[in-house]
C-alpha cells in the first residue's frame, strides 16, 4: 500500500461537495487521452502545447495511485484520510446518482454538458478526473494529532505527493484520534512511563502500601476528609478500605483496594463495598460513589458485568497509574 497527499486546491467550491460524496477530483479537464503511461507526455503536449512540470500531479493521480492506497486530504487546520476504491475516470463518467442534486457552495446546480465538461450553468469547471474513495477518518485536527514530520509534509504547495515514508506517522495519528489522545508532551511522557511505573508498583509495594497510595491520591485531589475505617467496626456489613469525602462536590467515595497481579476474577470486592455503603447509609445532600481499585491489569468479563449492574466503578492497575501520573507524583516519598 502507498500513501498519497492530495490537496484540494482547484475549484474548492465543488471539489469539497464531491468529496463529501466520496469522490476525489483533480483538474486538467482538457486532457482527454486514455492511452496510458507510455503516451502520457505526448498526449499532454498535444492537449496543452507544453510539458509543464505540474503535469506530474495528474500523472500521479492517473497512474501512481492504486485501489487500496491511502490518501491524506489536508484542509483548514485539519486533515482527512481516505482509501482509494476505484481507478481514475473522466469526470463525464460520474453516475447520475453521484450528480443528483449536486450543488456548489454558492447554490449553483452542477451538471455535465454534451462535451463532457462539468458546468455550473454559466461557466466550465476545470475538473477533469475523479476517483471513488471511502472515508477512514474525518477532520483530524493537525495541531493535536499530526507529528512534526506529517505537519511539515502537509505544508507542501504541490497538488499531490507520494508520502508513503510517513505511513506509520499517519497510522499513529489515526489511532490517537480514534482514542481521543492528542499528541502533546504530557501524553507522550505518559505513554512512555506508564508501563514502567506500573511494573515498579507491582514489584515494590504490598497491600498496605497500595492502600496508602490510593489514600495519597485522594489527598492530592483535595478531599475534605479521608477516613480509613477500622477493620473491627461493630456490627458492620461488608468492608471499605478508604472513605474520601469531597464537601465542595457533596460526594463520598467508598473504595475497595485490592493488591494482586493478573486478572481480578472474583466479585467479592463488589459485594463488600456495596454492602458497606448500604450499612453506612446515605448522608443528606451527598452522592455516593463506589470504586474498586485493583492493582491487577484487568477484570474478568463476569466482574465487569456484575459491577455494571451494581453501578460500581472498576479501576485497573494501569488505569490507576495513569490517574496518578496525571495528578503528579509529589508526595510519593511517603509511600
User: Nearest 5 degrees, angle CA 156-CA 159-CA 160?
Assistant: 80
* 63 and 128, same domain (yes or no): yes
| Contacts of 307 by beta carbon, 8 Å cutoff, 6+ apart | 267, 270, 292, 299, 313, 314
* 161 and 235, same domain (yes or no): no
Q: Supply the pLDDT for residue 111.
A: 85
* 169 and 190, same domain (yes or no): no
Question: Is the four-CA dihedral 56, 62, 65, 71 of positive or negative sign?
Answer: positive
Are 236 and 279 spatial neighbours (Cβ–Cβ below 8 Å)?
yes
Numbers of helices and strands, H then E, in the chain: 12, 17
* 151 and 47, same domain (yes or no): yes
* 248 and 268, same domain (yes or no): yes
Are 69 and 82 spatial neighbours (Cβ–Cβ below 8 Å)?
no
The neighbouring-strand residues paired with 103 are: 109
Coil, helix or strand at residue 82: strand
Burial class (CB in 10 A: 0-12, 13-18, 19+), 44: buried
pLDDT, tens digit (0-9, with 9 covering 90-100), for 262-287:
888 888 999 999 999 988 887 778 89
Coil, helix or strand at residue 304: helix
* 255 and 221, same domain (yes or no): yes
E-state strands within 148-279:
160-162, 225-227, 242-246, 251-258, 263-264
Domain boundary among the residues 182, 209, 243 is at 182
Q: Supply the pLDDT for residue 116.
A: 82
CATH number of the domain where residue 212 is located: 3.40.1350.10
How many structural domains does the chain have? 2
* 193 and 303, same domain (yes or no): yes
The segments of the chain whose pLDDT lies below 70 read 34-35, 185-187, 329-335
Domain boundary among the residues 182, 208, 240 is at 182
Burial class (CB in 10 A: 0-12, 13-18, 19+), 14: buried
CATH number of the domain where residue 8 is located: 3.10.590
* 209 and 322, same domain (yes or no): yes
* 59 and 202, same domain (yes or no): no
Domain boundary among the residues 160, 182, 204 is at 182
Q: Supply the pLDDT for residue 58.
A: 93
* 268 and 216, same domain (yes or no): yes
Q: Supply the pLDDT for residue 120.
A: 86
Whole domain around residue 22: which residue ranges? Answer: 3-182
First-residue to last-residue Cα distance in the chain: 51
Q: Supply the pLDDT for residue 24.
A: 97
User: Nearest 5 degrees, angle CA 53-CA 70-CA 65?
Assistant: 40
H/E element holding 125?
strand 124-125
* 18 and 167, same domain (yes or no): yes
Coil, helix or strand at residue 314: strand
* 30 and 46, same domain (yes or no): yes
pLDDT, tens digit (0-9, with 9 covering 90-100), for 174-183:
999 998 888 7
Beta strand pairing call for 118-119 and 124-125: antiparallel
Q: Supply the pLDDT for residue 98.
A: 86
Amino acid at each position: 500500500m502507498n500513501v498519497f497527499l492530495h490537496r484540494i486546491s482547484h475549484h474548492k467550491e465543488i471539489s469539497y461537495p464531491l468529496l463529501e460524496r466520496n469522490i476525489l477530483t483533480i483538474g486538467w479537464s482538457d486532457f482527454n487521452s486514455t492511452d496510458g503511461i507510455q503516451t502520457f507526455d505526448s498526449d499532454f503536449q498535444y492537449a496543452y502545447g507544453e510539458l509543464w512540470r505540474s503535469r506530474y500531479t495528474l500523472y500521479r493521480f492517473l497512474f501512481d495511485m492504486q485501489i487500496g492506497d491511502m490518501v491524506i486530504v489536508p484542509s483548514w487546520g485539519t486533515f482527512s484520510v481516505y482509501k482509494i476504491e476505484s481507478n481514475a475516470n473522466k469526470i463525464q463518467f460520474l453516475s447520475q446518482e453521484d450528480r443528483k442534486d449536486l450543488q456548489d457552495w454558492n447554490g449553483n446546480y452542477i451538471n455535465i454538458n454534451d462535451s463532457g465538461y462539468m458546468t455550473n450553468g454559466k461557466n466550465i469547471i476545470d475538473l477533469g478526473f475523479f476517483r471513488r474513495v471511502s472515508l477512514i477518518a474525518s477532520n483530524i485536527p493537525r495541531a493535536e494529532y499530526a507529528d512534526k514530520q506529517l505537519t511539515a509534509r502537509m505544508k507542501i504547495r504541490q497538488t499531490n505527493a507520494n508520502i508513503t515514508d510517513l505511513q506509520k506517522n499517519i497510522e499513529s495519528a489515526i489511532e490517537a484520534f480514534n482514542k481521543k489522545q492528542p499528541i502533546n508532551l504530557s501524553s507522550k511522557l505518559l505513554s512512555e512511563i506508564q508501563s514502567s511505573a506500573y511494573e515498579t508498583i507491582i514489584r515494590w509495594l504490598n497491600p498496605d502500601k497500595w492502600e496508602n497510595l490510593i489514600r495519597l491520591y485522594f489527598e492530592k485531589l483535595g478531599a475534605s476528609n479521608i477516613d480509613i475505617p477500622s477493620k473491627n467496626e461493630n456490627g458492620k456489613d461488608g468492608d471499605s478500605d478508604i472513605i474520601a469525602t469531597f464537601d465542595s462536590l457533596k460526594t463520598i467515595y467508598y473504595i475497595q483496594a485490592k493488591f494482586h497481579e493478573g486478572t481480578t476474577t472474583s466479585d467479592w470486592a463488589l459485594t463488600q463495598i456495596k454492602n458497606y455503603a448500604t450499612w453506612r447509609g446515605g448522608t443528606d445532600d451527598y452522592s455516593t460513589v463506589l470504586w474498586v481499585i485493583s492493582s491487577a491489569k484487568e477484570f474478568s468479563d463476569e466482574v465487569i458485568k456484575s459491577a455494571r449492574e451494581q453501578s460500581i466503578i472498576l479501576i485497573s492497575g494501569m488505569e490507576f497509574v495513569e490517574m496518578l501520573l496525571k495528578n503528579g507524583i509529589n508526595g510519593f516519598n511517603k509511600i
